[in-house]
A and B are shown apart, each in its own frame.
Chain A
Amino acid sequence: MAATFFGEVVKAPCRAGTEDEEEEEEGRRETPEDREVRLQLARKREVRLLRRQTKTSLEVSLLEKYPCSKFIIAIGNNAVAFLSSFVMNSGVWEEVGCAKLWNEWCRTTDTTHLSSTEAFCVFYHLKSNPSVFGSCPRKNMQITILTCRHVTDYKTSESTGSLPSPFLRALKTQNFKDSACCPLLEQPNIVHDLPAAGVLSYCQVWKIPAILYLCYTDVMKLDLITVEAFKPILSTRSLKGLVKNIPQSTEILKKLMTTNEIQSNIYT
């Protein structure tokens, strides 16, 4: 509880999270009907892995069907734009699967007929190069994750307004022996962005070499300068050899920006 400036007493948010005591009691009062509803909801919210653009599920895990040595994950619109324009534009990439999920935050209510544009995650593999999502054994797999955060999340003794954003920082697992193309994320900064932190935690625990490149930016929507901030990664071992034509990629990126801008202009 806290008293505000005006004297009324309000319930202050608690850093400890939800009050587990209340949740425990609710659990005890659950009827069989409540339990059935809860199980149905859990089934609806399961993540489903589907084969290519069809609705059939993958019988085996994606990595068993397509073992790879390099797995690149882009999270967020700027990271995805970078990967699409620079990496996936070179060579022929084939869609091999997608992951679909539903929860209460989705705007659609129909879970069985989600179109391919509503897939939350699409998997591609490089047709020509066997070293990427190719036939190498899983043991040598290396994972690269790209994502963005807002610059105000970055803790520094200077003011965040004076930082030269966008800028890159990296976090790597113990087994990742190569060097990063940018400084490592300094204490006390952390990453708690769900996909990125989840994947990196998994890799650290199970000793998989992985690196996360984090772009701190003040523009969270699709932005040319933010996407270009990822460019130093092209010279690292993770992405080297995957990018053939940088000037062409930059053109594709500019087109992507323009298309997006037109769509977002409510006056046309």
Chain B
Amino acid sequence: MFVPCGESAPDLAGFTLLMPAVSVGNVGQLAMDLIISTLNMSKIGYFYTDCLVPMVGNNPYATTEGNSTELSINAEVYSLPSRKLVALQLRSIFIKPFCEKLLSWVKSSGCARVIVLSSSHSYQRNDLQLRSTPFRYLLTPSMQKSVQNKIKSLNWEEMEKSRCIPEIDDSEFCIRIPGGGITKTLYDESCSKEIQMAVLLKFVSEGDNIPDALGLVEYLNEWLQILKPLSDDPTVSASRWKIPSSWRLLFGSGLPPALF
């Protein structure tokens, strides 16, 4: 359930909700960190649920001594009212079904649309996908009605259908998102509940997924224009997204000097 930080629940009518799916390489979650950190979004509440493994730590977006001691938990909601953006960040894995609870909050909050940032196993691509851009999008029917023209103008690739059972040649075709966690379920449920939802994903492998996250936020930015459009200079792109302080030591502590 959503619990506001302040006394009353904020008004999110007409806002765009950005959220990650816990998926391969944690790319959606890394992308959310970049968005919240760069836009300096303020925390407006918690999504208190027993569906996620509990976890606590000090402010992952700390920039100074002063703001470094605010406690953060596994599911928090941030907002940027000037851009009508609200962001849900998830920091641990699911242990119980979560989609229904999440979507009922989305409906009750009054958010106009949801954009899910996700990823899918790159090794599951077919030949055509291997040769094209690694980014894909999916829109629910109600979302298609409102943004189809904009998406068309961006020349984006829609997620292709593939065999439901890959090993069987005459199996039906359907949307599959291997490694996408709850992405497919969220998409299917939103279709049936007529929620305006878009899924933006990248084909990735596990490893250092920071470049993948930067790629995914740039992909999102082509549509939402959160930051000014990219210039032709590729060296500018990575530096305009603010890396949060919690990304330090992503691959462990320092090495013992005795090793050398």
A and B assemble together: yes
Contact of A189 (CB < 8 Å), options: B24, B48, B57, B181: B57
In the complex with contacts A161-B256, A174-B71, A201-B56 CB distance below 8 A? yes
Q: A16-B22, A205-B48 are in contact. List 16 more A-B contacts (CB 8 A).
A: A14-B206, A15-B25, A16-B93, A18-B93, A21-B185, A158-B253, A172-B71, A187-B57, A188-B249, A189-B57, A191-B56, A192-B53, A192-B92, A200-B71, A201-B48, A204-B71
Contact digits for B57-76, partner A, Cβ 8 Å, 1 yes 0 no: 11110100000111101100
Given contacts A187-B246, A205-B3, contact A197 B46 (CB under 8 A): no
Query: In chain B between 228 and 255, which residues have their CB closer than 8 angstroms to a CB of chain A?
Result: 245-250, 252-255
Q: Which among A18, A156, A200, A204 has the highest number of chain B CB atoms within 10 Å?
A: A204
Per the CB 8 Å criterion, the residue count for chain A at the interface is 46
Given A156-B253, A162-B256, residue A15 in contact with residue B206 (CB < 8 A)? yes
Question: Is there contact, CB below 8 Å, between B56 and A188?
Answer: no
In angstroms, how far is the closest chain B Cβ from the Cβ of A196?
8
The answer to whether A157 touches B56 (Cβ under 8 A) is no
Query: Which of A1, A171, A198 has a CB less than 8 Å from the CB of B123?
Result: A1
Pick from B24, B53, B180, B248: contact of A188, CB below 8 A: B248
A184-B69, A187-B248 are contacts. A20–B26 as well, Cβ < 8 Å?
Answer: no
Indicate whether B23 reaches chain A with its CB closer than 8 angstroms.
yes
- Tally chain B residues at the interface, Cβ within 8 Å: 51
Q: For the complex, what is the distance from the CA of A157 to the CA of B60, rounded to whole Å?
A: 17
Contact B24 A15 (CB under 8 A): yes
| B residues in contact with A12, CB < 8 Å | 206
- 14 A-B contacts (beta carbon < 8 Å): A16-B93, A155-B248, A159-B255, A171-B56, A171-B71, A186-B58, A187-B58, A189-B57, A190-B57, A192-B92, A197-B54, A205-B46, A205-B73, A206-B3
Q: Is A17 in contact with chain B by the CB < 8 A criterion? A: yes
A64 proximal to B (CB < 8 A): no
Q: What is the chain B residue whose CB lies nearest that of A152? A: B253
1/0 per residue, CB under 8 A from B, across A146-183: the answer is 00000010111111111000000001111000000000
Known: A158-B254, A204-B71. A188 touches B55 (CB 8 A): no
A20 contacts B181, C-beta separation under 8 Å? yes
Given A16-B22, A17-B94, A154-B253, A191:B71 Cβ within 8 A: no
Partner of A200, one of B56, B59, B92, B249: B56
Binding site for A on B (CB under 8 A): 3, 22-26, 46, 48, 53-60, 62, 68-71, 73-74, 92-94, 121, 123, 176-182, 184-185, 206, 245-250, 252-258
**Which residue numbers of A lie inside 8 Å of B, CB to CB?**
1-2, 12, 14-21, 24, 152, 154-162, 171-174, 184-192, 194, 196-198, 200-202, 204-206, 212
Once the chains bind, are A14 and B179 in contact (CB under 8 Å)? yes
Task: Look across to chain B and name the residue whose beta carbon is closest to the beta carbon of A199.
Answer: B54
* Residues in chain B near residue A212, CB distance under 8 A: 56
Task: Among A2, A21, A188, A192, point to the contact of B178 (Cβ < 8 A).
Answer: A21
Cα distance A205–B72 in the bound complex, in angstroms: 10
Q: A2: which B residues are within 8 A, CB to CB?
A: 206
Residues in chain A near residue B71, CB distance under 8 A? 171-174, 200, 204
Query: Which chain A residues border B22 with CB–CB below 8 Å?
Result: 16-17
Which residues of chain B come closer than 8 Å to A201, judged between CB atoms?
48, 54-56, 73-74
A21 to B71, CA, bound (A): 33
